Amino acid sequence: MFFKEAEEIAYQATSLFNTHPALLKYFKDYPETDAPFMHRQLVDWYNKRPFTGIRVLHHVPVVPNTLLKIACLIEAGAEVTVTNPSFLSANPLAVASLRAAGVRYVENVHDLEEEQFDLYFDCGAELYQALGAPLLGAVELTASGDQIYRNQSLSFPVISIDPTLTKQLETIFGCAESCHTAIAQLSGINPAAKTWIVFGFGKIGRGVAYFCLQHGARVSVVDICEQQRQAAKELGLEAIDPQDSSALQSAIASADIVVTATGHAASMAPYPHAWFQDKILANMGVYDEYGAQFSTEEVLNNKLPINFVLNDPTPMRFIDPEFYIHNIAGLVLIQKLLSNGIHGLPMEIDQPIIQQWCQYHSFTPEIITQWFINPRDSSSKQLVQSYAETHYPDLRLRPQMHAQMLWLQENSVTSSRSNVEAKIAPVNIEVRRSLSRLNCLNLLVMGGKASYQLFIQSQPEDKILSPAKFNEFSYCIQQLSPAELDCLKASCFITKSDRAIMIMALAEQRNRPIPSDSEQFITYMVSHFPNILPISSLFSAEAIGLLTSAFCKNSHLRHMLHLEGGYNMVSDLTELSRTRRLTYQQYHLWYARWIINIAGLDGHVNHQGSRYLTESVADNVLALKTELDQLWVNPQYPVVDRYLASRAGKLNLSSPYIAYLAVHMNEDNPEKIREIQAWFAKLSPVQRQNKLQIFQSQLTKTKVTPTFKPTVLATLRAVGCSISDTLTLFTEIETVAMQTYFSAVEEQRLSATTPLSFRDIAFKKELVPIKAYYDAHNRVPELHLDSSGYLTVTEHALQNKPSFSESAYFSLK
């Protein structure tokens, strides 16, 4: 039993709970035996209040059992407004209870067009279609809404719970039981004693068929899809092809009850009306599946979904976990970590709910395995496995590695730098990079001439890594202990992913903010939640524990390598060395992890060896390592200045700023360096001074390193911009972006620990229109810096003629 003492307090409607007694009484009407998930959520959120300050618009059928779901959101601190979907009428008693509790209920959703809400709890995507985008995101309940959202170009994230197994408790078991109950109520017959024919063998159709079999009723199913008919036959059902007119007519003639569950309007229109005379007709779809040739009187509940004739369209025990999962999905969205677009909930959240539900209700899990539609597309697993077998036949990949790669395959998180060279491919970039990292690690561990040749096989002839440098990196890796090597193997597969975001967000429930920056996110994950990773079960606790050193906080070697930030790039490493909280051996592991990361960086472009770790890159890595080593001798050592001076000296440059630009562009070609110098020489004295001031400000004022900044340069070069044009536009963007970022931090509109991110303007789709605007107006379009530190450009800004009286290009909203 869950928190029984606290539940008794809820029943007594004492002042301890924030929810009004008019809603709390429903927790007595639906006791823990029927609604264990809602009871647990009420008490849990009473303690944590995770939605405090969040404006919620709740658009789920307003019936008595829905009030438990709404009460949990109120108890969590949300400011809740309730509306009702268009396909049914709200239950009058439920509406009266909401109003008695002081919960705002709005009959017409269009009355809210002038208001903004943080979260939508949506049904059928009706809120989005009526009101446009929410501020933080939406959680969608249904298959029809899922499809509508998928067909849109969204400016916000959506979590759809329709693909989950948890949702199928309602659509398969719950709707089927309601269908039988409603038919009995409206017709006065015993449905179990009749013969049924069900049109459609999706979730609802198979549920109706299951319920018939469980109660001894004869049933046949009709589906246009051969695969669905085969699935029905494997479950012991008669399955009919609707194109077989003779068999269909015969089956309808033998049936007493006809139920439609195809998901399509007028799906019965192709069949003669006469076939259905004297039959009990019921619709379980949202649309009118009978069509115009059938009158409303001929179909139970006037063609509306028949289960909506009941006070509770779905029995509480089947919809209880669905309400729970629909609510908790909102916890993910308020962390503001998911990318725009539609997302599903991972099985790591879904499956435990199913297991707990089976335990609560003494239900046999094998029945769920047999009857539910597996929402996990096996094609992802097959794609990854085929790619690995084709390109890396010698890698020994364990099941945990494959499981971890599925996190990356089904992932929307965008990576930096080499994405400008990525081609559209069925296998996710990060899957290809992870395998490349592991392959490079193995080659460095083995060492020798054969491994060297495999390592350099995709490198340009004029940049090939020397045998001496390969041996130096190989020796570095070979000095590691077995546990440290296992740690490196695990690190190859670890990156920021949607699954990790969701699991961590639900665990934290806003107790602590989860970092948005990818590297900070990984550090946080391996420090607080290492065991959520499938790869963690493959290696020893010692190896997994070492991940905190391998992913040392705020110590991003590639950022240092390309001088993407300021002096604070090394501040954490400096402090750890000073206090000896990071030993030299742990630092060595951190460095080794970055060797592997850099080696596999372009693995998505070419899988053969290491395309990226060339001789020039190796020179720079080793130069940086030389400076970083000094921290263990002198923690006050000026690493960034010395490294910048080293790079400038190598390029024969006297100007640190020119060296900074060359390093940012990853450019060491003498001709290109001269072009950079020529560009700078053509600037006016005022322009030079402004750019030098921004450069110094970045070094001294930046607390956390900006992200995706070199990607802007790489993309501009990739789309054909000259060195001069690239630097002109890049420095214009950089100058105003940094000024606005510093102002936002100083005015406390943005946390100093939130990195400025160029991600949403760093790629071709955004940069080409920005360049066109600059070419037309001699300035960048207005960009926005949002509360998470992301720069964005709107279509309106790209079309808007600039006003030169404006004092800044950017605004914080």
For tokens 């994230």, the residue is 157
Sign of CA dihedral 632, 636, 640, 646: negative
386 and 330 belong to one structural domain:
no
The yes-or-no verdict on residue 537 having pLDDT over 90 is yes
503 and 580 belong to one structural domain:
yes
Burial class (CB in 10 A: 0-12, 13-18, 19+), 187: middle
pLDDT of residue 573: 95
pLDDT of residue 517: 83
Task: Kindly state the percentage of the chain with pLDDT values over 70.
Answer: 95
500 and 561 belong to one structural domain:
yes
The yes-or-no verdict on residue 613 having pLDDT over 60 is yes
Structure-block tokens of residue 518: 């990818």
Task: Kindly state the percentage of the chain with pLDDT values over 90.
Answer: 83
Q: Which amino acid does the sequence have at 96?
A: A
Asked if residue 644 is part of any domain, the answer here is no
The yes-or-no verdict on residue 203 having pLDDT over 70 is yes
The yes-or-no verdict on residue 185 having pLDDT over 80 is yes
pLDDT of residue 92: 97
- At 219-246, the pLDDT tens digits run 999 999 999 999 999 999 999 999 999 9
Residue 119's beta-bridge partner residues?
Answer: 56, 137
- At 95-139, the pLDDT tens digits run 999 999 999 999 999 999 999 999 999 999 999 999 999 999 999
How far apart are the C-alpha atoms of 38 and 236, rounded to whole Å? 36
The yes-or-no verdict on residue 87 having pLDDT over 70 is yes
End-to-end CA distance of the chain: 46
Cβ atoms of residues 757 and 789 within 8 Å: yes
Asked if residue 658 is part of any domain, the answer here is no
162 and 174 belong to one structural domain:
no
pLDDT of residue 2: 41
Q: What is the CATH number of the domain that holds 91?
A: 3.40.50.1480
514 and 573 belong to one structural domain:
yes
The yes-or-no verdict on residue 804 having pLDDT over 50 is no
86 and 126 belong to one structural domain:
yes
256 and 301 belong to one structural domain:
yes
- At 475-489, the pLDDT tens digits run 999 999 999 999 999
Asked if residue 655 is part of any domain, the answer here is no
Which pLDDT band holds residue 509 (cuts at 50, 70, 90)?
confident
Say how many domains are in the chain.
Answer: 4
Asked if residue 654 is part of any domain, the answer here is no
581 and 711 belong to one structural domain:
no
For tokens 């914080």, the residue is 812
Q: Which of 377, 376, 363, 378 lies closest to 169, judged by CA?
A: 363
pLDDT of residue 802: 64
Asked if residue 28 is part of any domain, the answer here is yes
Rounded to the nearest 5°, which phi and psi values hold at 707?
-115, 150
For tokens 């400038």, the residue is 648
pLDDT of residue 232: 96
Which pLDDT band holds residue 16 (cuts at 50, 70, 90)?
low
Asked if residue 471 is part of any domain, the answer here is yes
95 and 189 belong to one structural domain:
no
pLDDT of residue 14: 44
pLDDT of residue 516: 84
Cβ atoms of residues 558 and 592 within 8 Å: no
414 and 443 belong to one structural domain:
yes
Asked if residue 643 is part of any domain, the answer here is no
Burial class (CB in 10 A: 0-12, 13-18, 19+), 475: exposed
Asked if residue 562 is part of any domain, the answer here is yes
Where in the sequence is the domain holding 752, given as residue range(s)?
A: 685-812
- At 261-294, the pLDDT tens digits run 998 999 999 999 999 999 999 999 888 999 999 9
pLDDT of residue 288: 95
